[in-house]
Homo-oligomer: A and B are copies of this chain.
C-alpha cells in the first residue's frame, strides 16, 4: 500500500490467469475473443478485473500504429459556431470508442500545419478539418501521410475528399427571398472570404437569388470581408454602404459579420431593422440574444459534426470507400433584425 504500485501489465494478468501474455491480449480484444476458449476468456477477464488491469494505449499504439484518436482542426474555438459541431463529433466518436483531440488553429495556416504534424506524429487515425480553405495544402499533406480526412462546414474545390457541409447557396437564397418577401429590392451582401467555400458559395447563392427576384444589378452590391470576424464585417458593411447608398437590407455571410453590420449601422445612425434589415448565417448560440435578435440561416451544427465523424470512421474502416459529399439543408429563422423597408428614403444622414 505504501509503494507507488507499479503499473499492472498484461504480463501480470497472464501470470494470474495462468496463461501466456499473448493469450491475454487475445482474450481481452473483442475482435479476437473468438480465438480463445470461453473458459480461458472468462478466467483472463476475471484476473484482469481483479488486478485492475488497464491496457496501455501508447504501447498498443506503438505496435499497431493506431490510437483510437481523431484529430479535429478548428479555426477558432471562440467562435460559438464550433462548440456544437464539436459536440456532435464527440458524440459520434465516443459511440465508436474513439476520442477527439481538438486543436485550435486561430485561423493561422502555420498553426494548422503544426497541429496536423503533431496529430500525425501521435498517430491520429484520422482528421476532421473544419478549417479548410478551397485550395488547402493540408489535404495534400494528409494524403501523403495516408491519413483519412473529412471536411466539415467548409469544403474544397473538386470533390476529392469527403465532406459534410450546408447547402450554402440555398441558405443565402433563403435569406434573399425572405427579404424580398418583406419588400426589399436593394439588397446588399457582406460576403465571407472568397478563399473559403462558405464565402464563395453563399456569395454565389446571393447573386443567383437576387437575379431570381429580378433585382440583380451589374456588378451586384457586394463587399467582401477579409475574415469571419466582427470588425471585418463592420469594415465590409461600411464599404458596401458607401458604394451602394440605397441599400435597405444586408445579407451577411455569417453571424459574426452580421454583428459587424450592426455596429456599422449604428455608427451611421441607421436603426436595425427600422432603417436597415440584416440577416446572418449559422444561427450560432446567442444569436437570439443579440440586439436586435438576429434573423439568420440555421444550419444543423450538431448533426453536421456527427455526420462528419461517422463518415470518417467509415473511411478508416475501409480506406478505399468512395468519397462522399453530404449537403445538409439549412433553414431560415426569422427574428428581429429584419422588417419591411421604410416607405420613404432613409433619413438623410
> Which residues of A pack against B, CB within 8 Å?
4, 54-59, 61-62, 67, 77-78, 80, 83-84, 86-87, 90, 99, 101-102, 104, 117-118, 121-123, 146, 259, 285-286, 289-293
A84 to B122 Cα, complex, angstroms = 26
A290 to B259 Cα, complex, angstroms = 11
**Nearest chain B CB to A105 CB, angstrom units:** 11
A104 to B83 Cα, complex, angstroms = 10
Q: Do B78 and A87 have beta carbons less than 8 Å apart?
A: yes
A67 to B59 Cα, complex, angstroms = 12
**Which of B54, B56, B87, B291 lies in contact with A77, CB distance below 8 A?**
B87
A259 to B288 Cα, complex, angstroms = 11
- Collect the chain B residues with CB atoms within 8 Å of residue A121's CB: 54-58
- Collect the chain B residues with CB atoms within 8 Å of residue A123's CB: 58
Instruction: Across the A-B interface, give the 4 residue pairs with the lowest CB-CB distance, nearest first.
Output: A291-B291, A78-B83, A77-B83, A102-B102
- Collect the chain B residues with CB atoms within 8 Å of residue A57's CB: 121-122
The verdict on A4 contacting B80 (CB below 8 Å), with A56-B121, A286-B289, A291-B290 known, is: no
**Nearest chain B CB to A243 CB, angstrom units:** 27
The verdict on A118 contacting B102 (CB below 8 Å), with A83-B77, A86-B77 known, is: no
The dominant DSSP class at the A interface is mixed
Closest B residue to A67 by beta carbon equals: B58
Q: Do B146 and A4 have beta carbons less than 8 Å apart?
A: yes
A54 to B84 Cα, complex, angstroms = 34
- Collect the chain B residues with CB atoms within 8 Å of residue A56's CB: 62, 121
- Collect the chain B residues with CB atoms within 8 Å of residue A84's CB: 78
**Nearest chain B CB to A150 CB, angstrom units:** 20
**Can you offer 20 A-B residue contacts whose CB atoms are under 8 A?**
A55-B121, A56-B62, A56-B121, A57-B121, A57-B122, A58-B62, A58-B121, A77-B83, A78-B83, A78-B84, A78-B87, A86-B104, A99-B118, A101-B101, A102-B102, A259-B289, A286-B286, A286-B289, A290-B290, A291-B291
Known: A54-B121, A87-B104, A290-B291. 5 other contacts (CB 8 A): A58-B67, A78-B87, A80-B285, A90-B104, A291-B291
A59 to B122 Cα, complex, angstroms = 10
Closest B residue to A90 by beta carbon equals: B104
**Nearest chain B CB to A272 CB, angstrom units:** 12
- Collect the chain B residues with CB atoms within 8 Å of residue A118's CB: 99
A55 to B122 Cα, complex, angstroms = 10
**Which of B4, B54, B146, B285 lies in contact with A117, CB distance below 8 A?**
B54
- Collect the chain B residues with CB atoms within 8 Å of residue A90's CB: 104
Closest B residue to A5 by beta carbon equals: B144
A292 to B290 Cα, complex, angstroms = 9
**Nearest chain B CB to A178 CB, angstrom units:** 21
- Collect the chain B residues with CB atoms within 8 Å of residue A77's CB: 77, 83, 86-87
- Collect the chain B residues with CB atoms within 8 Å of residue A80's CB: 78, 80, 285-286
**Nearest chain B CB to A263 CB, angstrom units:** 10
